[in-house]
């Protein structure tokens, strides 16, 4: 007769470093913490009484590297800076000559499930084609949707600092 083996864990903390998302973005760290975790064997199952804490950190350097690698519309030399709670992005696009662009973007959470990038302002050689660039952003938004995660998650806050982006939320194993 087989017994279902379980492991009860009073509290847990996990720190994942250098996580590469399927889209290619490198996440510097993912921190998970919680209480009352129960793990079962054959089939593997995980359950918690209440969702745990989730903290995701992406550096401005990793964000710039991602944008340089996947640069939309041939942008190059992308640099990202976190300042005053928003992202400042500088890039160059070669048309016949190098054209420098500067954009300010904010991040917002929608329905505790999705992270959107909003264009606050843009300057390309002194002009501000905000509507054109916002339509490009609309094609990639949301940039994060927790419905795609292998766990149940909700997003609570997003903060931009000089070091990078911090996303806070709650997380729990998916119910089976």
Give the model confidence (pLDDT) of 103-140 as tens digits: 899 999 999 999 998 889 888 766 556 665 666 667 77
Is residue 102 within 8 Å of 90, Cβ to Cβ? yes
Model pTM score: 0.83
The answer to whether residue 1 scores a pLDDT higher than 70 is no
Q: Supply the pLDDT for residue 55.
A: 95
Q: What share of the chain has pLDDT > 70, as a percent? A: 88
Closest among 80, 58, 83, 37 to 168, alpha carbons compared: 58
Task: Pick left, alpha or beta for residue 20 (phi over 0 → left; psi -120 to 50 → alpha; otherwise beta).
Answer: beta
- For the chain, the structural domain boundaries read 52-173
What average pLDDT is seen over the chain? Answer: 86
Find where tokens 């995660």 sit.
Answer: 149
Cα 2 from Cα 148, distance rounded (Å): 35
Residue with the bigger pLDDT between 73 and 39: it is 39
Q: Is the dihedral of CA 134, 138, 140, 145 positive or negative?
A: positive
Q: Which residues contact 116 (CB under 8 A, 6 or more apart)?
A: 107, 108, 109, 110, 141, 142, 143
C-beta of residue 12 within 8 angstroms of C-beta of residue 34: yes
For position 141, what pLDDT does the model report?
A: 80
Give yes or no for a contact between 117 and 130, defined as CB atoms under 8 angstroms apart.
no
Interval 11-34 mean pLDDT: 92
Work out the pLDDT band at 31, boundaries 50, 70, 90. very high
Distance in angstroms (rounded) separating the CA atoms of residues 72 and 55: 28
In percent, the amount of the chain with pLDDT more than 90 equals: 47
Using CA atoms, how far apart are residues 168 and 153, in angstroms rounded to an integer? 10
- Measured CA to CA, the distance from residue 150 to residue 22 in angstroms comes to 12
Write down the pLDDT at residue 136: 63
Neighbour count for residue 43 (Cβ, 10 Å)? 7
Q: Which residue has the higher pLDDT, 127 or 98?
A: 98
Mean pLDDT value of segment 20-34: 90
């Amino acid at each position: 007769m087989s017994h279902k083996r379980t492991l009860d864990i009073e509290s847990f903390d996990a720190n994942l470093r250098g996580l590469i998302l399927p889209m290619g973005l490198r996440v510097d760290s993912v921190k998970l913490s919680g209480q009352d975790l129960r793990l079962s064997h054959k089939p593997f199952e995980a359950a918690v009484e209440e969702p745990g804490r989730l903290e995701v950190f992406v550096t401005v350097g990793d964000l710039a590297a991602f944008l340089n690698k996947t640069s939309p519309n041939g942008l190059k030399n992308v640099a990202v800076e976190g300042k005053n709670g928003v992202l400042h992005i500088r890039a160059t696009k070669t048309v016949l000559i190098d054209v420098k662009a500067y954009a300010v973007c904010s991040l917002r959470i929608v329905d505790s499930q999705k992270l959107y990038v909003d264009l606050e302002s843009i300057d390309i050689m002194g002009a501000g084609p905000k509507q054109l660039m916002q339509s490009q952003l609309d094609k990639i938004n949301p940039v994060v949707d927790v419905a795609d995660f292998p766990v149940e998650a909700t997003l609570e806050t997003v903060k931009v600092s000089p070091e990078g982006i911090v996303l806070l939320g709650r997380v729990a194993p998916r119910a089976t």
